Chains A and B, each alone.
Chain A
Amino acid sequence: MIKTINILFSNQVSLYCYNSNNILKTVNNTNLIISKALLKDISIFGLKNNIHLNLLLSDNYLSEEHKSIFKNNSYSVTYKLAHNKLAHNIDDTSSILVYDLSDEFDFLLSKRPIKYSNMVIRITKNRLNSILDIFSKVIEIADRVNFIHVDLPEYTSSEFDVYKKQLEQISDYLSHKIFALNYMELNFLTDRLLLFNHNNCNAGIDHITVGPNGKCYICPAFYYDNPENNFGDIYDWEIPNTHLYEFENCPLCKMCDCYQCKRCIYLNLTLTGDVNIPSKQQCVLSHIERNASMKLLENEFINKNDFYPIYELDYLDPLDLIKGTKSISLDDRAKHVANILSAPLKNYNKMDIIEAIYKIEPMMLTKIKEILCNGNVRDSNGIR
């Protein structure tokens, strides 16, 4: 169910997520700003359907007129700031700030006197080996830091090795300095410790995006990639095969415990051709981060018992379990996946779990008993 609509105020709002700067060319030739009439219609739509609005702006800060349009709505603001612009004029520290990592970034950070709640830093592959350096400065001004890898489709084992080492260094840095003092949220390191289920982007399921042309898109990347590739407008839209955007229809993600992974639909579609299948790069990145979180649990400053356990894996790509060098039988795979996915339930007793199963789906208990109690398993001819 759609709970949020992202509104791209203009086509000059540059990219703020997992999409490289190359795809801006098709839309940035002319200046297109969303009309006020459309904003009003979206506002009313949001009010009628209890939908939160996320306003995507660049340097044109939210005007008083805009604030008045949305005064009755639940809304938030995300600013994508150009590298040579300062963030001083943004009074609302609950806004999300998005930066492309650049050489001037250091300069900017030193100017900011107060802390933001949420910052997104877009990293290119040539800046991978300065993540620790950037991180050590960013944590002074933000409670939550997100690193987004815009060149992820181009990553090879070299980039992943660099990133892995940077994460190790960040873990060391944290254990000596911050963790003992402050609580921080890091999408690439601490999110995984607190999650017990997937916390994906959910574009197309929880949220959609309205472009400055008034058309609807799965997310802004689809607008930037090709404005013709929309699924209607705010008055009449339909996402074909909407079920394929849902987590339960992602055959690989369902067997993975990288709960912090964003399962970027845009990356899926551009790299593999299907919205529900992640690329190797996305899987490897998520597993490197997951493993770094796992290592962090071993840190002496952390009380392991405050967090859900994360088990060791011998692969970085879960597809290897099915079709790769580490492929295992169906039954062994089921055992392994059940083990890692049930890690957060380790400390619950059997009856609590059974009771929860019954409350969610009473017939599931019947099916479980059929398999375990009667030895009734279908053979390959479908015969009991």
Chain B
Amino acid sequence: MDKENYLDKPQQWKEGRALTITFIVTEDCQLRCKYCYIQKKGNNNKMSLYIAKTSIDYILKNNVLFPEQSVIIEFVGGEPLLEIELIEQISDYFKTQMFLLDHPWFNSYRINISTNGLLYNDKNVQRYIMKNKYHINLTISLDGNKEKHDLQRVFPDGEGSYLKIIGNFILFLNQFTDGRTKVTVSKLDIPHVADSVLHLFSLGVKFVDINCVFEDVWEIKDDLLFEEQLIKLADEIIDKKMYINYSCSFFDKTIGKPMDSFYDNENWCGAGKMLAIDPRGGFYPCLRFIQYSLKNRKEKLIGDAINGINTNKLRPFKLLSRTAQSDHECVTCSVARGCAWCQAENYDCAKSNTIFERSKSICKMHKARVRANNYYWSKIGEPV
């Protein structure tokens, strides 16, 4: 089969070389998703415009610390659309400052928002989207079919949020034909994986970005159940030739191979190459290093909006590589490629206060994925 006959995974904008600046505009959210990394919600911590502006001024005036040629301005929460006015003010300030300073980013930026979708059709949200139509990328977290979505993504009273979101999600796909969603698989979700991906395809999502959580939630036989689901999904996609117009991130031609210790040694996770700013103006190597996101360890601040970045605190991140944090089994694994990790999760679970210890919770799930992936590509006619 020719390469053109199946939908390839979308390329990252600027091949992943843009700097991502994440503004955590609020810690509040309408939902209480069970797998959310935020340990406690419902407080009123929200970012002030002063903190946002001070951070932006610092970043734009420090070319040496931020030499990237492109930038992704990201808004997250909690639920960021709860603070759409603040987002608009921050975006306006960022854009005008980039323009006034003749910053190269003015010619190369995107705005990303990750939302639960509940406020997507709000008139202020829609106005903001239209105002930034060219530059904006939204991701609405529709977690699969109703059964799967409502297992995890619930209101404080336990009620599922699928029915409240689905209308907005359809509107989103009408406005953004390449609209994407982020699907997360935890232990309870396994039986619904195949149907969820197919459901999203049926709604019109061309590429489903889906991954297993990195936390240590997996038990014996979860990997085999997961593999069964992926095989079921593979059979559906191939037998109905859905691969021509649809793609799922679980099936990737490049995964499941050994990796060279010298040439393939980049850190998988982008922590340290991005900047997350919390409502109080604290700077973090990634939003998962904020205290509310960690169960066992102290937060990892690398600076703040007033004093700037402490470059010594960034040094470990700049020196992180695959082999520096992996044990011998992982370094020499014959199916290493595609096995991912979350740096903050590694840090939170490490035996000591370090980012150089890789969690292996996901090992069996990755191997299950590799087996299903091999099956998929062999059946398509392009064995990996």
Contacts and interface: CB of A to CB of B under 8 A. Distances in A.
B321 A382 contact: no
A280 B311 CA distance: 8
A251 B315 CA distance: 11
A241 B352 contact: yes
A225 B351 CA distance: 20
Interface centre among B264, B316, B337, B351 (most CB of A within 10 A): B316
Nearest to A279: B312
A380 B318 contact: no
A240 B350 CA distance: 9
Interface string B291-334: 00000000010000000000111011011010010000000000
B315 A272 contact: yes
B357 interface: yes
A277 B317 CA distance: 10
B352 A244 contact: yes
Contacts of A322: 318-319
B263 interface: yes
A241 B318 CA distance: 20
A319 to B, nearest CB: 6
A269 B254 CA distance: 37
Interface in A360-384: 377-383
B257 A381 contact: yes
Given A330-B262, A334-B262, A378-B264, A244 B354 contact: yes
Nearest to B318: A323
B357 A241 contact: yes
Given A382-B260, A382-B264, A275 B319 contact: no
Contacts of A330: 262-263
The binding surface of chain B is classed by DSSP as loop
Contacts of B336: 382
Contact of A279 (B315, B319, B357): B315
A244 B336 CA distance: 22
Contact of B316 (A272, A280, A380): A272
Contact of B315 (A241, A249, A277): A277
A201 B264 CA distance: 32
A275 B260 CA distance: 26
The binding surface of chain A is classed by DSSP as loop
A382 B352 contact: no
A184 B158 CA distance: 75
A101 interface: no
A378 B263 contact: yes
B107 interface: no
A271 B311 CA distance: 10
Nearest to B319: A251
A244 B325 CA distance: 10
B89 interface: no
A276 interface: yes
A322 B336 CA distance: 24
Contacts of B357: 241, 244
Contact of A380 (B263, B315, B351, B355): B263
B204 interface: no
A139 to B, nearest CB: 34
A382 B319 contact: no
B162 interface: no
Contacts of A275: 352, 354
Contacts of A251: 319, 321, 324
A164 B258 CA distance: 47
Contacts of B262: 330, 334
Nearest to B265: A330
B356 A272 contact: no
B355 A274 contact: yes
B316 A277 contact: yes
B264 A273 contact: no
Interface in B54-72: none
Contacts of B300: 273
A240 B349 CA distance: 12
Interface centre among B262, B264, B311, B315 (most CB of A within 10 A): B315
B259 interface: yes
A323 B350 CA distance: 26
B245 interface: no
Nearest to A242: B352
A252 interface: yes
Given A240-B352, A249-B324, A319-B319, 16 more contacts: A241-B357, A244-B354, A251-B324, A269-B353, A272-B312, A273-B313, A273-B353, A278-B315, A280-B311, A280-B312, A319-B315, A323-B318, A378-B263, A380-B263, A380-B264, A382-B336
Interface of B: 254, 257-260, 262-264, 300, 311-313, 315-316, 318-319, 321, 324, 336-337, 350-357
23 contacts: A241-B351, A241-B357, A244-B357, A251-B319, A252-B315, A252-B319, A272-B315, A272-B316, A273-B316, A273-B353, A275-B354, A276-B354, A279-B312, A279-B315, A319-B318, A322-B318, A330-B263, A377-B260, A378-B258, A379-B263, A381-B254, A382-B259, A383-B257
